[in-house]
Amino acid sequence: MRDAARVMSAAAARERKRSHAGGRKTGGRPASAVRLAGWRRKAVAAAGMAAAGLAAGLYYQSLWAGLLFAPLGLYAPSMTERELENRRRRRLREQFKEALHCLVTSLSAGRSLENAFLAVPDELNILYPDPRTAIRREFELIRIGIVNGARLEDELRRFADRAGLGEAARLAEVIAVAKRSGGDMAAIVRSSAQLLGEKMEVEREIAVMTAGKRFESRLMMGAPFAFVMLLAAMAPDYMAPLYGSAAGYAILTVGLAALAGCAWLIRKFMSIDV
């Protein structure tokens, strides 16, 4: 296990060096990223503009404010793509964790590294009967590349680039470093796969523990809008000073900016890296 940790540290250092040197862009969008196009993108943009305009119109009690803020809905397609992409990555990460378990089982049975990767797709077919499952397609491509003479680490890097999966890139670096440093390749990769699986399990537990707080944060972000609209509807005389002067609109705008800042802070606090 210590050898695997040492190799993974060297692999991580090499990956950071490649990233700083202008190599593979780990922060860029992968080839399989979710993208909205055609009528779907237009529909999401129209819905976003309508929602932004309606919320601003009710918040400021002004049609002109609704028209002014409606163009913010044009960001809705990119936000929707980001959310769908996060869901796709979370699903693929869980599937990749299962693939790592299959790999560890094959290595423990005495198979060589390449033969273990060749056997993983057959085991994934049992775990995921649907042929459209992303991890099945990716490991089939890896198997095809190995059969055609490609290096295993290169196929894993292509998989990482296509899927935007950092764990696959780190496993590829571990294999590359282990081949150069020598030693028991199967033991090193088996221990590294176990470490990656444990790391992903910790991240999953953190996501489960913070799921309730994320839901509460969404309620907190929507509560001020609901409160202001409720007062405007039930006690218009009480809210009249806010909507009858420039100072009132300035106060509303400052409150809206403060709410946006709180949303940004909450998102930063909820982003926990392991």
CA–CA distance, 164 with 85 (Å, rounded to integer): 10
DSSP class of 30 = P
CA 145 to chain centre: 27
With cut-offs at 50, 70 and 90, classify the pLDDT of residue 143: very high
Whether residue 274 is contained in a domain is answered as no
Would 129 be classed as within a structural domain? yes
Q: What is the CATH number of the domain that holds 99?
A: 1.20.81
More confident of the two residues 184 and 57: 57
Per the structure, the complete domain to which residue 178 belongs is given by: 90-201
Are 191 and 3 in contact by the 8 Å Cβ rule? The answer is yes
235 assigned to some structural domain:
no
Classify residue 108: in a domain, yes or no.
yes
Looking at the domain assignment, is residue 264 inside a domain? no
Distant-in-sequence contacts of 212-221, Cβ < 8 A, 24+ apart: 213/270, 214/270, 217/263, 217/266, 217/270, 220/262, 221/259, 221/262, 221/263, 221/266
Claim: this prediction has a pTM higher than 0.75: no
| Residue 122 resides in a domain | yes
pLDDT reading at 3 higher than 60: no
Q: What is the pLDDT of residues 56-114, one digit of tens each?
A: 888 888 888 888 888 988 888 888 888 888 888 888 888 888 888 888 888 888 888 88
Q: How many domains does the chain have?
A: 1
Residue 220 included in any domain: no
- Inter-residue contact 113 to 152 (CB < 8 Å): yes
Does the residue 57 lie in any domain? no
